[in-house]
Structure 1
Amino acid sequence: MNITRRSSITGLIGAALAAALALTGCSSTASPQKTATSEGPSRLPAAEGRTSYPLTLKSPFGETVLKKRPERIAAVVPNAIDTELLLALGVTPVLSSGLVDEGGYLDEHGADDLTTYEFVMGEKVPVEAVAASKPDLIVAVGWTDGLGGVKLADHYDRLATIAPVVTSPDTASQLLIPWQDSVRVLGEALDLADAAKAVVDDHEKHFAKVREKHPEFDGLTATWAINYGSANGLQYLSRPGSAPEAFLAELGFAKNPAAREFAREATVSDELLSKIDADVLLLGQSAAARDAEMRELTGRDLFRNLSAVSSGNFVQLPPKTDDGGDLLWAISSGGPIGNKWAAEHLVPLVADAL
């Protein structure tokens, strides 16, 4: 498995059952330029003096002990949510999943200068790559069961032989570990509890302002659905307990009771198409869906008769924003940087529709 400086990563975002996304065909095409062993220590803000070491790191799979404040941090979660949280804290890891900034919004936070490992959907995380980065802490927060087709339980013991491993308390969550919980865990492990609190507080203040500015969202139901084309069809992504549902709630929308229909299965069959209706319908187009397939879906009578569509409370989103970002990735990953970026692009479109 190659270790490379982050390069252009091509791929598809496939239908999601475990983490509201699945990654297929992702690969790094650049020649290796920089190995993890050539990296210097991770860049960390100054210690706050609130965490006492040694620190026992508990997980559902066992315990490891962090003897002192770490300096070299490897972030190994397949979709790189842990890397986003580290960057939000001002921490630069020595290793990250190559899918960091697949959504196109983390470059300005340092994602374009990271050493990465290549991740392919369903393949094991390359433990040898993690070992080569010489970490003194391995971060696996935000790794839900089966994320990217792999389970942390299958990797934990081997990772723990390399360095202490920090996880979120409940990595068996079906869809979502709230990033707020994960960043607090990171804050304690890295002696950055105040910084973690500041990230959460800033996020809450930002979305409070969004809700204050857009009271018209308050109490309305909303659906986030994605057309994946012929391969995986229409998928209901704002399922109960999902990152998209949490994102819509931060904007002020109420939970859609119809979402219960998709709690176990996200695929929207013709028989269930009426169940995607809501006060506001957001329909995205994945990179796998052709424009003709979108026109076929939105031109059908079953779709046009949805109340959100017939009333004009319907927003159709392209695969990429004008600046090349991916709203689907940002909202499905559910991190603080991506959520704020997504809101900046999405809120004006929804406000115009209403």
Structure 2
Amino acid sequence: MNRLARPAARRRATARVLVAATACVALVAGCGGSEDKKSADKPAAGAAAGAESFPVSLTNAWGKTEVAEKPLKVATVSDGDTDIALALGLVPVITPDAEDGGPVPEYKQRAIDKLGGKKLKTYDDTDGTDFEAIAAEQPDIILGMNTWSMDTDYAKLAPIAPVVTYTDKKHADTLTWQERLKTAAKALGMSAEAEKVIAANEKATKDAAAAHPEFTGKKYTYAVVHPEQITFMSYADQDAGVFEQLGFTKTDKAKNYTAEKNAVSLENLDELEADVLLMTYPFGDNGLLSASELESNKLFQSLNVVKGKHYAVVPSDNNLASALAYPDALSSPWVVEKLTPILAKAVAGK
């Protein structure tokens, strides 16, 4: 199951929601305010390309989205939608403040720098979507491919501008990032650009796998320490994701777990045994236990994967754990870049 890219709860440092989210899901890998009205009325970087003809009509779960002409000013209602725009080379006229005023993730800052380096114009989404702030920017289109709140937001967003979102409410959880990107790109007249983004991300993963043939066939376990449990993330029917695209395979123990049955008790830590074990602690002090507490556990220490030093922690403070759980067009190649050396050290037992 592919999960939605970065919902509001996940965006907050005190509650980076990875619950039931796959961390091995399918991966490959502006400022338009009144003071900058002139530039806001021009196509954003990359907007000139795209072969689609307009008008474009898209069906969604709440009705139809009619895009009369090629959009020039794009607003977003989630961090994942902002990443879609940036991946396509567009600087949104307004976005939610996904970092709550904190530092922008490295992969996003790279894209912003490439598109001119201006700080994104944001609204405070602590209490949800700020409809007035979006309306004030007079967007031509609103991207909502990565939000769980569309059921309540759509009626308020649609009068502002055409809303691009999913065709079925259940797709909030099930669409891949590639599907979300393609739908948004169609409405933007940028399908060709979307295919290039997908191809580039796939190449990043294939290149990393080719550079590390030692990954092939190694069995892995990936687990997340949540506040209430240790969660076995790499369960059997999980979609093949970045780990497997890099050459790893799931352990035999994976068949014991599902998206709904995924808790590993401290008495059954041997369920984590694998050639390579990856853990992450995204909730910090609010997790069930800390890394040092787990690593001092006698049963954990007895695991062959731990004794052989084939165990590694996926960091959460740099957004890597979150980007694994909520992949998108912008973060995917960065995930491969950052994860590959961690995996290489774990395989080597360093």
Q: TM-score, normalised by structure 1?
A: 0.78
| Cross-structure match for 1:29 | none
Q: For 1:155 and 1:296, how far apart are their aligned partners in 2?
A: 42
For the pair 1:350 / 2:349, whether they are aligned, the reply is no
Change (3 A) 1:275 1:225: same
Equivalent pairs counted in the alignment come to 317
For the pair 1:309 / 2:313, whether they are aligned, the reply is no
| 2:135 corresponds to which of 131, 136, 154 | 131
Change (3 A) 1:86 1:174: closer
Q: For 1:202 and 1:49, how far apart are their aligned partners in 2?
A: 17
Helix, strand or coil at the partner of 1:336: coil
Q: Runs of 4 or more off by more than 6 Å in structure 1?
A: 240-243
Q: For 1:215 and 1:169, how far apart are their aligned partners in 2?
A: 40
Q: For 1:166 and 1:209, how far apart are their aligned partners in 2?
A: 33
Helix, strand or coil at the partner of 2:249: coil
- 1:258-298 Cα offsets, whole Å, 9 max, x none, are 44514115543335533333331111232523898221112
| 2:13 corresponds to which of 11, 14, 21 | 11
AA of the residue aligned to 2:340: V
For the pair 1:252 / 2:258, whether they are aligned, the reply is no
Q: For 2:334 and 2:235, how far apart are their aligned partners in 1?
A: 21
Helix, strand or coil at the partner of 1:296: helix
Change (3 A) 1:205 1:310: same
- 1:322-341 Cα offsets, whole Å, 9 max, x none, are xxx32112212202332222
| Cross-structure match for 1:115 | 121
For the pair 1:279 / 2:299, whether they are aligned, the reply is no
Q: How does 1:1-354 map to 2 (within 5 A)?
A: 11-17=13-19, 19=21, 36=33, 38=35, 40-41=40-41, 43-48=44-49, 50-77=51-78, 80-99=79-98, 103-110=105-112, 113-120=119-126, 123-143=127-147, 146=148, 151-173=149-171, 175-228=173-226, 231-238=227-234, 246-256=241-251, 258-259=253-254, 261-271=257-267, 273-286=269-282, 288-289=284-285, 293-320=290-317, 325-354=318-347
Helix, strand or coil at the partner of 2:170: coil
RMSD, aligned CA: 3.0
Among all aligned residue pairs of Structure 1 and Structure 2, give the percentage whose two residues are the same amino acid.
Answer: 28
Q: For 1:334 and 1:103, how far apart are their aligned partners in 2?
A: 13
CA contact (8 A) 1:44 1:71 kept: no
Q: For 2:45 and 2:231, how far apart are their aligned partners in 1?
A: 40
Change (3 A) 1:219 1:97: farther
How far apart are residue 131 of structure 1 and its match?
1.8
AA of the residue aligned to 1:83: T
Structure 2 unaligned blocks of 5 or more: 1-10, 24-30
Q: TM-score, normalised by structure 2?
A: 0.79
Higher relative contact order (CA 8 A, sep 6+): 2
AA of the residue aligned to 1:94: V
How far apart are residue 134 of structure 1 and its match?
1.5
CA contact (8 A) 2:84 2:181 kept: yes
Change (3 A) 1:109 1:164: same
Q: For 2:236 and 2:156, how far apart are their aligned partners in 1?
A: 33
Helix, strand or coil at the partner of 1:331: helix
Structure 1 unaligned blocks of 5 or more: 1-8, 22-33
AA of the residue aligned to 2:334: W
CA contact (8 A) 2:87 2:329 kept: yes
Helix, strand or coil at the partner of 1:337: coil
CA contact (8 A) 2:32 2:94 kept: no
Q: For 1:60 and 1:106, how far apart are their aligned partners in 2?
A: 29
| Cross-structure match for 1:6 | none
Helix, strand or coil at the partner of 2:107: coil
How far apart are residue 342 of structure 1 and its match?
2.3
Change (3 A) 1:47 1:170: farther
AA of the residue aligned to 2:197: V
How far apart are residue 90 of structure 1 and its match?
0.6
